Amino acid sequence: MSREKSADRLARSPIHLLHRAYQCASDVFQAEMAKGELTPRQFAVLVTVAGNEGLSQTDLVERTGIDRSTLADIIRRMLKKGLLQRRRTKEDARAYAVKLTEEGWRMLKAAEPTARKIDERILAALPGARGEKFLDDLQAIVRSLGMPPGATPRGRD
């Protein structure tokens, strides 16, 4: 395959472009977030737990899309930082329920304005209403591809 065809192929590859877009967005997040205190995934965990205190780690996997082993590592690091606390659930002694600590709430409240600015900066790369359309398209991809094989997507546009 010639170099030119290879470059064209990547320029039209959704998986490659989504990966590159994630890298760019992650770089912006790290550059803007104070002292690199949070990663994008840690922020996603804080937001998810804040809105759903007492979720199990399995529930967090389902709601964030972070794979089980990566999430376990993220939770472990956030426990060390004092951002989260966990306890065994009453329903299943093998499962942990996760909630924010006071420091976790403080970190989330401090990070939210910056995260909003980062989202706005990323979407500003697209003119006019294309930012909203892009978000809708990303949600459609997640709804469709984030389902178990054989399941029928709901609410497809």
Structurally, how many domains does the chain consist of?
1
What is the pTM assigned to this prediction? 0.82
Measured CA to CA, the distance from residue 100 to residue 54 in angstroms comes to 9
Measured CA to CA, the distance from residue 94 to residue 85 in angstroms comes to 16
Between the alpha carbon of residue 25 and those of residues 55, 62, 63, the distances in Å are 27, 22, 20
Q: Among 94, 102, 97, 103, which Cα is nearest to 75's?
A: 97
Query: In this structure, is residue 85 part of a structural domain?
Result: yes
Query: In this structure, is residue 28 part of a structural domain?
Result: yes
Q: Is the pLDDT of residue 6 over 80?
A: no
Query: In this structure, is residue 127 part of a structural domain?
Result: yes
CATH of the domain at 21: 1.10.10.10
Query: In this structure, is residue 140 part of a structural domain?
Result: yes
Contact 58, 65 (CB under 8 A): no
Split at pLDDT 50, 70, 90, the class of 58 is: confident
Q: Could you read off the pLDDT of 99-123 as tens digits, one per residue?
A: 999 999 999 999 999 999 999 999 9
Q: Name the strands in the sheet holding 96-100, side by side, starting at the edge strand that comes first in the sequence.
A: 55-56, 96-100, 84-88
* Structural domain of 13: 8-145
Collapsed DSSP state (helix, strand, coil) of residue 112: helix
Query: In this structure, is residue 3 part of a structural domain?
Result: no
Q: Is the pLDDT of residue 15 over 50?
A: yes
Measured CA to CA, the distance from residue 46 to residue 38 in angstroms comes to 10
Measured CA to CA, the distance from residue 157 to residue 135 in angstroms comes to 13
Query: In this structure, is residue 70 part of a structural domain?
Result: yes
CB count within 10 Å of CB 72 equals 15
Query: In this structure, is residue 113 part of a structural domain?
Result: yes
Query: In this structure, is residue 54 part of a structural domain?
Result: yes
